[in-house]
Amino acid sequence: MRIGHGGIRPTLAIGAALVLVFGATGCARQEAPAPKAAAPAAPAAAPAPAAAAVEPVLDGPDKLTHGRYLVETVAGCGNCHTPHLADGSLDPSKKFAGAFVIKEPVFEAYARNITPDMETGIGAWSEDDIVNALHNAQRPDGAFMGPPMSFGWYRGMSDTDAHAIAAYIKSVPAIRNEVPKSTYSFPLTGYGPKITSVADVPKTDQVKYGEYLAGPVGHCMDCHTTYVMGVIDMKQLGHGGNVYTKPFIYDWAAVSANITSDKAAGLGDWSDDEIKKAITTGVSRNGRPLLPFMPYGLYAKMEPSDLNAIVAYLRSLPPLGAGPPPAAEAK
């Protein structure tokens, strides 16, 4: 297990899990060797489903439009809360109906049904309940929630965006789908002092807004920041090297890439367009298709200005060279 940004995180740290896998397991310049203790190295990946033409999701000033934009693009909620089909795409018939499971020695966690179904989903939750869940990992009855959700990062999500996401989630079709209850062998006590309000991050500062999108909203940095002995090391922000074994329905291991500005090991030698292409189409700079772990199809629907902001932020990350070969966590 891993202790993340204010809480415990599992080996497969993917909350809408937006993992930018650039190397031997995705799209980085550095070809990281397959971890010895992890699943066998993946074969050449078929083009990710996202590589096909996609219909963009337009943002807007009203709450529902903005919420839909965030959920269906950079927040990527469906990547965990919607079952994956055999080709890696999301099952439209079970959108947000949950059931994705992560099994660790200390817990067995299921992505819950977040549709408004009154019996099997969160139909009884108010908008404020959902916002409190995002900010404080807390259910309406006061009980705390645990990993793998990136609650430590969601604590920085603005009130505006959290309420927009909550409003949109409450508007989607209710789907009856009973999901097993997650179980933990350790106490769940939250991720820090109670969050009561988070201000908006102005879009006028492109790098700062990109940091916000890649952090509290998209939580890209949760997977792309190195964990040491199970604890996230913020001094290695963007350094990658974390191993994610058998994600979703797949039988291979992914290694999160170095996405710092390092020219040899990171993205420093990539053009802006090459980075955008990898994020939105699942194709590396050399034309190699990437493993369908990241929700490329969701990112492809982002507003160009938001994608530009994320790239600008990645450019600002201090260069960190290649680290030791990744290794699977000891169980």
- DSSP sequence for 76-102: -THHHHSPBPTTS-B-GGGTT----EE
Q: Is 328 inside any structural domain?
A: no
Measured CA to CA, the distance from residue 99 to residue 181 in angstroms comes to: 10
Domain count for the chain, please give it. 1
Q: Is 152 inside any structural domain?
A: yes
Q: Mind listing the pLDDT tens digit for each residue in 302-331?
A: 999 999 999 999 999 999 988 665 554 433
Q: Is 186 inside any structural domain?
A: yes
Q: Is 21 inside any structural domain?
A: yes
Q: Is 97 inside any structural domain?
A: yes
Q: What is the DSSP string of 300-312?
A: TTS-HHHHHHHHH
Q: Mind listing the pLDDT tens digit for each residue in 193-220?
A: 999 999 999 999 999 999 999 999 999 9
User: Quick one: pLDDT band at residue 53, thresholds 50, 70, 90?
Assistant: low
Q: Is 331 inside any structural domain?
A: no
Q: Is 156 inside any structural domain?
A: yes
**Residues of the domain holding 13:** 2-316
* Token couple for 312: 């600008």
Q: Is 259 inside any structural domain?
A: yes
Q: Mind listing the pLDDT tens digit for each residue in 234-254?
A: 899 999 988 877 777 778 888
* Token couple for 108: 């067995």
Q: How open is the CA angle 13-217-2, to the nearest 5 degrees? A: 20
